[in-house]
Amino acid sequence: MLNKVAKILFNIILTSVLLGAFFWFIKGEELQKEYSTFRKNSAPILLYHAVGEPVEIEWPPSLIMSAALFESHLQYLTQEGYTVVSVEKLTELLSEGASLNKVVAMSFDDGYRNNYTDVLPLLNKYNAKASFYIVNRDIGKTIYMDKEMLLNLLNCGMEIGSHTINHAPLALIDPKYLPWETGSAKKFLEEILEGYQLQGMAYPNGGYNAKVLEAVKQYGFTYGLTGKVGVNTSQNFGVAPYEMYRISVVDDGNGIEGLRHRMDRAYLWGFLQTKGIDLNIIRDWLMQ
C-alpha cells in the first residue's frame, strides 16, 4: 500500500516537474508554433468505461462517471469546436492524411448497459459518434449490453470493436489462447452482429506484446488500441496501426478541468514523443 502511495506521489511530482519544465521551455516562440501545428495534426482517443447508473464492479469508483459529468464533456467539446468521431472514422482520416484539427475520437470499453441507456442518447443529442469494445462472454448479462442494444448502436452510426472473449490480458496469457481471444472473438461477434465487419481491437488493460500484434493482424483487425498515453498522427498510425494511443477519462473530482487536463497531457506526451521522449516508459515502470 505504502509502495503504491509512494509511486502515485512520485508520479504526480514527476509529471508536475516535467510539465513545468516543458512550459518554461515552450516560451520559445518557434517551439510554441511547432506545438500548435502538432496539435492540429493529431487526435486523442478518449477512453470511458461506465457512465450513468452506478454498476457493481470491483473497480476504482472514479472509473464510473455520472451522466451529467459525461454530458458536460460533450458540451465542452462542442463549444471548443471539436468533432467527436468513432475510432474507425479517425483511422480513415489518419490514412488519408486529412486535417485532424479539433478532431477527437471517443471509445467505451467493456460494453456496459449504461453505455446504451445513458451514453447513446447523449451522443445522439450532440451529434457525436463513438466506438464500443465488447467482451463476448458478457453480452446480455445484467449490467452489460445485449445483442439488440449492440445492433441499435450500429443503426445509430456507432462502431463496435472487440475487447476479447474473456477480457483476457493478452500480453500475460499463454500465447496458445491468442487465436481464441482475438480471431474467434472477432468471428463470433460478427456472427452476433449479423455480418457486421469488426475493424478494431482494444487490448484489455491496454497491455500487448509482439505476439499479440501478430495475432490481431493475422485475424483481420485493421487497428489496435493500447493503454499508452499520447495522440494519434498520420505518422505514428502509418508505422504502428495496432499500437494506437488512448487517454483514460475518469471522474477525478475536477469536473471539466479534469478532461481538459487529460487532453492537454495526451497532446503534450505525443509532442514529446516526436522529440524522442516517451513518458510511457516511466508510466509502464510505475504501473509494474
| Interface contacts to Zn ion, rule CB under 5 A | 109-110, 204
In the bound state with Zn ion, the residue whose beta carbon lies nearer, of 100 and 212, is 212
What is the nearest approach in angstroms of Zn ion to the Cβ of residue 163? 6
| Position closest to Zn ion via CB | 109
What is the nearest approach in angstroms of Zn ion to the Cβ of residue 92? 25
In the bound state with Zn ion, the residue whose beta carbon lies nearer, of 49 and 129, is 49
Provide φ and ψ at 225, rounded to 5°. Answer: -110, 125
In the bound state with Zn ion, the residue whose beta carbon lies nearer, of 204 and 270, is 204
Provide φ and ψ at 191, rounded to 5°. Answer: -65, -45
In the bound state with Zn ion, the residue whose beta carbon lies nearer, of 138 and 251, is 138
What is the nearest approach in angstroms of Zn ion to the Cβ of residue 167? 6
In the bound state with Zn ion, the residue whose beta carbon lies nearer, of 244 and 268, is 244
What is the nearest approach in angstroms of Zn ion to the Cβ of residue 265? 21
What is the nearest approach in angstroms of Zn ion to the Cβ of residue 100? 26
In the bound state with Zn ion, the residue whose beta carbon lies nearer, of 111 and 241, is 111
Q: Kindly tell me the sign of the dihedral angle through the C-alpha atoms of 169, 167, 110, 95.
A: positive
What phi-psi label fits residue 214: left (phi over 0), alpha (psi between -120 and 50 degrees) or beta? alpha
Alpha carbons 156 and 129: distance in angstroms, whole number: 9
What is the nearest approach in angstroms of Zn ion to the Cβ of residue 124? 24
In the bound state with Zn ion, the residue whose beta carbon lies nearer, of 29 and 58, is 58
What is the nearest approach in angstroms of Zn ion to the Cβ of residue 69? 20
